[in-house]
Amino acid sequence: MSSRVKLNISDTPLNPANMPQHVAIIMDGNGRWAHARGQRRREGHFQGYLALKDTVYATDDLKIPYLTVYGFSSENWRRPSEEVHGLMDLMATAIHAELDELMENDIRVRVQGRLHEIPEHTRLAFAEAVERTSANARLTFTLAINYGGRAEIVDSVKQLAIQLQSGALTADAVTEELISKNLYWPDHPDPDLLIRTAGEKRLSNFLLWETAYSEIHITPTLWPDFNAQSLIIAISDYQSRVRKFGAVLEA
């Protein structure tokens, strides 16, 4: 068991009655973090892994039931092959190293994306984590690997097209709810809060369908420097918003 100090919501300025149920994070800035220190990009990715570990357990401590992070986008294959291979090795090594502690903390691991296209050792490492943690019931931690929001929508529509072609479904029966039910993890609630680090102001093809009404928090903090306090600041910002979902609220 880790000796880390647990975060207690009563020691934060957060309102326990207004916590997001699902937080999504675009982790950005590993390369810039390393460059600013004269280090190789792989060191930035390693420090990003440590920041992710802290964030997972901080999210769990705050009793937020769902966390989804952007680990590797479908566009990231354009990076130098050495960096891509290093990332795939790091993800496989990290999930092996963390699996026992994830089990001890009742955290369920899921992955989403076109996993058949990633290296076998990385795919098998996550398959083991998903299987071993499948009955865990506290935090559902989902890592998007070889993921693209448009690809997820395409894959959902393909499933519907198969049903339409077979006659099991009519065109009039296709609704937003039906498309949602054919996404990678339809039992996940849509993210209430989307956090993007490193000051970038774009979605980068992440959870395009699911974030239609997410509150967005952008921080200049580079991902390796993101920590529990950064998460608290983002949630505090979320709690300051009035969520109308297109409606008009009475004064």
Q: Supply the residues annotated as catalytic.
A: 28, 76
CB atoms within 10 A of CB 13: 10
To the nearest 10 degrees (0 to 180), the angle between helices 41-61 and 228-239 is 60
CA–CA separation, 55 and 249 (whole Å): 34
**Which residues make beta-bridge pairs with 109?**
141
Instruction: List phi, psi (to 5°) of 129.
Output: -65, -45
CB neighbours of residue 95 within 10 Å:
19
User: Distances in Å between the alpha carbon of 172 and those of 157, 178, 186?
Assistant: 14, 11, 21
How many whole angstroms separate alpha carbon 139 and alpha carbon 196? 21
Task: Say what the alpha-carbon torsion angle 203, 191, 227, 83 is, to the nearest 10 degrees.
Answer: -40
Separation of alpha carbons 184 and 114, rounded Å: 10
